[in-house]
Structure 1
Amino acid sequence: MSQFSGVQSVIYGVTDLQEAKAWYTTLLETEPYFDAECYVGFNVGGFELGLDPSARNVISRADGVVAYWGVTDIAAQVERMNELGARLHGEIVDVGEGILMASFLDPFGNVFGLIQNPYFKPSQESSN
């Protein structure tokens, strides 16, 4: 059995924690489950999206890795991301069998990926 249980947290570096918290609260349509002066965490479908002003010091290039957050209607979310001021990073692409992907740059310079994958269902079991 693998010692890895899957993605647990995706942490974005931000320069203004309060501004980022407000933006992501609007985007995710939920309040953070953890809110401190040095870190804010959101529960997104059982996974953590974290905002960390200290991470900005170690992130030199956001394009290296892209975390894709699952959505049920990618076209609607692309429109919403545009309305919230995110900049398009990668157009909606059908990567096969109806799986759609797109990406944006959030107002803080992080790449935020969207994926509509009708086949992927997050596991409900824990392998710890």
Structure 2
Amino acid sequence: MLRGLSTVSLFADDVAAAAHWYTEVLGIEPYFVRPQDGPPAYVEFRIGDYQHELGVVDRRYEVSPRTEAAAGAVTYWHVDDVEATFERLLALGATVHDKPMERGPGFVTASVVDPFGNILGVMYNQHYLSTLAALSHG
């Protein structure tokens, strides 16, 4: 049974450049880098309320064949302000994948393609906030 988000892996031809970009986006340095010397093949960030793992992997290790268009599952990360986050990601060099859209009361989504060809989703999700509140009061 699926129990929760463990690690989201994104891929890049230049892991060092991707690590720099995500450091700017997230406001934190990766906590894990391999190898420790030389150009990295893998970096990992721990982010958010639950310290979920966001990894950037050298594209040489990608299992699926690469296509020119961004594709695959979209993982949405909860944010408090979708519009502001979306605009900030665009200002940092991402491109539009799906503009902000209300999907129902308390649910707004948007997604971008990062400079390395990965889809990055952001979402205001009332369920996420309700779950977080219940856990912090339980």
Structure 2 regions of 5+ residues with no counterpart? Answer: 35-39
Deviation at 1:123, TM superposition (A): 9.6
Aligned residues: 123
Q: Give the 3-state SS of the residue equivalent to 1:95 in structure 2.
A: strand
Cα RMSD (Å) of the superposition? 2.0
Which residue is 1:119 aligned to?
127
Residue 15 (structure 2) pairs with residue 9 (structure 1): no
Length-normalised TM-score, structure 1: 0.86
Amino acid at match of 2:46: N
Amino acid at match of 1:77: T
Deviation at 1:115, TM superposition (A): 0.6
Map 1:39-50 → 2, pairs under 5 A: 39-45=42-48, 46-50=51-55
Are residues 118 and 39 of structure 1, via their aligned partners in 2, closer, same or farther at CA, if it must alter by over 3 Å? same
Does the Cα contact within 8 Å between 1:13 and 1:59 map onto a contact in 2? no
> Greater RCO between the two (CA within 8 Å, min separation 6)?
1
Length-normalised TM-score, structure 2: 0.80
Which residue is 2:96 aligned to?
88
Which of structures 1 and 2 has the bigger CA Rg? 2
Are residues 22 and 124 of structure 1, via their aligned partners in 2, closer, same or farther at CA, if it must alter by over 3 Å? farther
Map 1:1-128 → 2, pairs under 5 A: 3-36=1-34, 37-45=40-48, 46-53=51-58, 54-56=60-62, 58-61=64-67, 62-120=70-128, 121=131
Moved over 4 A (4+): 122-125
Q: Give the 3-state SS of the residue equivalent to 1:119 in structure 2.
A: helix
